[in-house]
Amino acid sequence: MASADLAVTIGAIKMKNPVIAASGTFGFGREFGRVLDISALGAIVTKGITLEPRAGNPPPRLWETACGLLNSVGLQNPGLAAFIRDEAPRLAACGVPVIVNISGDSLAEFCELASCLEGVPGVDGLEVNVSCPNIHAGGRPFASDPEAVYRVAAAVRRVTGKTLIVKLSPNVAGIARTAQAAEMGGADAVSCVNTYLGIAIDAERRRPVFSRVFAGLSGPAIKPLALRAVWEVASAVRIPVVGIGGICSPQDAIEFLLAGARAVAIGTGNFISPMACLEVVEGIRSYLEERGIRAATDLVGRARGHAGHTAGSHSDEAYVYEPKERKAEDDFAAGKGRSHGGEQ
Ligand SMILES: Cc1cc2nc3c(=O)[nH]c(=O)nc-3n(C[C@H](O)[C@H](O)[C@H](O)COP(=O)(O)O)c2cc1C
């Protein structure tokens, strides 16, 4: 039997297979590099990088739930300069495309991160984390306003020639609209989704578990929700979708491809088994070869032919996002909400 073609392309990134290690669950590949061959992955996404180093939130930062994990890490990271000095040269030699996840609290910060990373060897793409709070919008996450997502994507697009992926938050009223805003802003792809906001309460101490109350839920518990988000987003945009949320097995990954994802990323699954990414690569290969399917790309969106009338499509008027006229950042920053501050 002919061997299946697993290769997929996201923007300018040619991946040997559709399996990516998700941001924040794979560090900078150092520890995982000791137990698995990182070059066998499709790509890796780094932990979220900010301009300055961040110590993160006080403990506890992780809390197990039924079939899931709540985290409130608080974007602990060494900062941009240390990343470029200590991590990027090693990552450049790993033989795998590297996507750097960036978090800013203003358009200016996102742009500075993107332009400083522009000439760094071994950085193939940027994943823009729009779940972080916008200081010019009272701390409301960028993701909560499609206009803000459009502006971030457009601003970063102007300063980077690298593959630009916008990572969507599921904690919004209409994720398809946010995805369209990212596409209109010039994103090459969207990744879908970040964690779902949740809370844990300590009944003995009669108080919230996390210092910032809200935390991000990930793992198998969110898989059906993330699949729905991918389905809706793939209906609304023409750029590739990277499916994320509770993927632990080859079957999970294949379900996301069938729903419309061009590639998948594995997060919490890496904590359950450090070999999860590689097992998923091999499982997708077997699935294709056992069924005589030529290529992984042949699976993308194949479940969609069976959609009922509730499933979105390009012609759904409700999903058409039009960016407003460009204004100064402060003009649209009228929000009164406060940062939940709980994710990652
Ligand atoms: C401990 C932890 C840290 C994370 N850190 C980041 C981060 O820095 N930036 C980001 O965009 N997403 C971050 N995420 C979100 C994951 O990349 C992923 O979108 C989410 O966990 C859902 O996928 P999963 O169910 O496979 O874990 C983090 C998730 C976890 C569990």
**What was the pLDDT predicted at 308?**
61
What is 8-332's CATH number?
A: 3.20.20.70
Cα 191 from Cα 175, distance rounded (Å): 11
- What is the residue extent of each domain of the chain? 8-332
Distance 344 CA to ligand 1 centre (A): 7
What residues are paired with 251 via a beta bridge?
none
Atom of ligand 1 nearest to the CA of 222: 25
Q: What's the chain's average pLDDT?
A: 92
Atom of ligand 1 nearest to the CA of 77: 8
Using a 6 Å cutoff on CB, does residue 198 contact ligand 1? Answer: no
CB 244 within 8 A of CB 252: no
Residue from 191, 228, 192 nearest 304 by CA: 228
Average pLDDT rounded to a whole number, residues 5-10: 98
Using a 6 Å cutoff on CB, does residue 50 contact ligand 1? Answer: no
**Tens of pLDDT, residues 97-111:** 999 999 999 999 999
Burial class (CB in 10 A: 0-12, 13-18, 19+), 13: buried
Q: What is the DSSP letter of 309?
A: T
So which residues are the catalytic ones?
132
H or E stretch at 90: helix 88-92
Name the residue of 65, 77, 256, 344 whose CB sits within 8 Å of the most ligand 1 atoms, as the mutation to test its pocket: 344
pLDDT of 313 > 50? The answer is no
pTM of the model: 0.93
**What was the pLDDT predicted at 194?**
98
Query: What angle separates helix 223-236 from helix 175-185, to the nearest 10 degrees?
Result: 50
Average pLDDT rounded to a whole number, residues 125-133: 95
**Tens of pLDDT, residues 262-281:** 999 999 999 999 999 999 99
